[in-house]
Amino acid sequence: MKRVILLTMFISFAVAYCVYADLPQPKISPTQGQTKEQQDKDVRECEEMAIKKSGVDPVALNMKYRSLESMCSMKTIPRSTSMPARGGRQTSDVLSPSRNNEVQEYRKQMALVEKEYKKYKDAFTAEIKERGYEVRWK
């Protein structure tokens, strides 16, 4: 019983303090002397336009990205199989077929998220640059 309680506490603690990465966010700098208020207004309007043009909701997509990242962390899915494992074999050679399928599905889902986010990023970047801002994605 004591072990179950300790294990439950440990898992709760680990989940509470686990930090997942977000999709890249824009770093916006005015190039035409815009005020902070004007920049905030322009950013909101550009976000709305980018959502309409791309058909992508970045908040929902970021939640999906975090969900995939958490699955990866909890199942210890390797993010890349290009690095050789011990003995010089590729990681995919070491994984069981079912694990390899999980890894491939994870990568497929992440690629879809990144492809969708690129649509939004491109639309947002075009909109914000049109209003006289420089944008970098971090």
Phi, psi of 90 (to 5 degrees): -70, 150
Average pLDDT over residues 75-101: 56
Average pLDDT over residues 31-53: 96
For residue 66, give the amino acid letter: R
* Strand runs labelled E in the chain: 26-30, 133-137
**Is the pTM value of this prediction over 0.85?**
no
Q: What is the largest CA-CA distance in the chain?
A: 65
> Are 22 and 132 in contact, with CB atoms under 8 Å apart?
no
Q: How far apart are CA 37 and CA 39, in angstroms?
A: 5
Dihedral (C-alpha) 135, 136, 137, 138: value to the nearest 10 degrees?
-130
Tell me: pLDDT of 86 over 60. Answer: no
Neighbours of 28 (CB within 10 A): 21
Q: Which residues pair with 56 in a beta bridge?
A: none
Categorize the per-residue pLDDT at 103 as very low, low, confident or very high, splitting at 50, 70 and 90.
confident
Query: How confident is the model over 60-82, as pLDDT tens digits?
Result: 999 999 888 877 666 555 555 44
